[in-house]
Amino acid sequence: MLHINKIRDNRDSYIEQLKIKNFDAFTLIDAVIFKDDERKVTQQKADELLSKANQLAKQIGELYKTGKVAEANILKKESSAIKESSKTLQTKQGELEKKIQDILVQIPNIPHPTVTEGKSDADNVTLKEVGAIPTLMEGAKPHWELTSDYNLIDFELGNKITGAGFPVYVNKGAKLQRALISYFLDKNTDAGYIEYLPPHLVNEASGFGTGQLPDKEGQMYHAIEDDLYLIPTAEVPVTNFFRDVIVKEFPIKCTAYTPCFRREAGSYGKEVRGLNRLHQFDKVEIVQVQHPEKSYETLDVMVQHVASILDELELPYRILKLCGGDLSFTAALTFDFEVYSAGQERWLEVSSVSNFESYQANRLKLRYKDDNGKTQLCHTLNGSALALPRIYAALIENNQTAKGIIIPKALHPYTGFDIIK
């Protein structure tokens, strides 16, 4: 959430910058400034009444001490009237603050100055492409056929017990999934991230803190009776560890494995077939809380970290810088990783690494004290390291041979086997 004072100071530039996100902020920004002006006037009047009430209280006390009861009683009536007026103003101020909040949550984060214009993922900029596109044997198959042939994943069983988009991993397929999770976590902890195992349900305040609510509530599974939400990513519970916290030392580095739940409306065709689009999937997340002066340096390090994992898995990948139209509501700058899926002959997104600057921190009241002792907002960052479904898909597609599916060397200590026959 943007800070109202920064909106005031940067009104024109914010309106222009948000056009890069294809968002017309003119009406909302002017509305929030107008409401904040009204709030300031109301607060000033309330403060003046409070000051007058305090003065009257002293006068009333002095009058009672000197035996001037009649005069004191007159002032008491005046004081009571002032208190009633003060209550009315306080109520109005509270209502205005809520209206300001309601407007602020509708305004996206400001994109970083380097973000380019564009309407969709077709306008994203490819920064780097690593690894050779594999040449597969004749008769090579996409992963949804391989998982059936090798009895790795049972999509029909998942559909039977839950519904489409909830796969059941079987035998070596389950072990490969567990191996990837452990491998990702070990890579992250080796890089200095502290591992957590957070709850998979969060309350409304947590969803609000990271920007899922009210923006993405239609994509989240909601346990209505308990007013809890199934997490769409570990970013939500982990970042909320630090809600209402004053950070004393930077950086804070966290990693967590969780299942993730998303009510994404699926279309038909190979682009969402098999593991390409799921309602429940596994992901290992990295989160950092950083000093504002170092957050973009940290973003670069996080991107390099994700790249190092893909290098070890020997998967061809590319790094894209998202254009304004493809940037999320809360992000200031995002780099996407895509791996090449040889069985499908297409690129698959497997990670987004983002800097949210102070946007989430303002919602979370996540702060630190500067050298002058003044409270400032932290910066938050997160990334997938990594999301499993499409990594899994590309890994088995790219490594299929006539003898079986070859497992990358980096995973051998985790799987206990080097080929799936």
What domains are there in the chain, each with its CATH number?
4-104 (1.10.287.40), 121-420 (3.30.930.10)
- φ, ψ of residue 126 in degrees (nearest 5): -80, 120
Question: Above 90 in pLDDT, residue 64?
Answer: no
Counting every residue, how long is the chain? 421
Return mean pLDDT, the chain.
95
Q: How confident is the model at residue 72 (pLDDT cuts 50, 70, 90)?
A: confident
Instruction: Tell me what pLDDT residue 345 has.
Output: 96
Q: How confident is the model at residue 71 (pLDDT cuts 50, 70, 90)?
A: confident
> What is d(CA 393, CA 342) in angstroms, rounded to the nearest whole number?
10
Instruction: Tell me what pLDDT residue 68 has.
Output: 85
Instruction: Tell me what pLDDT residue 115 has.
Output: 98
pTM metric for this prediction: 0.93
Question: Above 60 in pLDDT, residue 166?
Answer: yes
Question: Above 90 in pLDDT, residue 54?
Answer: no
pLDDT tens sequence across 300-323: 999 999 999 999 999 999 999 999
Question: Above 60 in pLDDT, residue 392?
Answer: yes
Strand partners, 228: 203, 223
Q: How confident is the model at residue 216 (pLDDT cuts 50, 70, 90)?
A: confident
Mean pLDDT is lowest, of 194-208, 210-224, 325-339, for: 210-224
With a CB cutoff of 8 Å and minimum separation 6, the contacts of 161 are 168
pLDDT tens sequence across 241-283: 999 999 999 999 999 999 999 997 554 555 789 999 999 999 9
Separation in Å, CA 306 to CA 252, 268, 334, 337: 18, 30, 13, 8
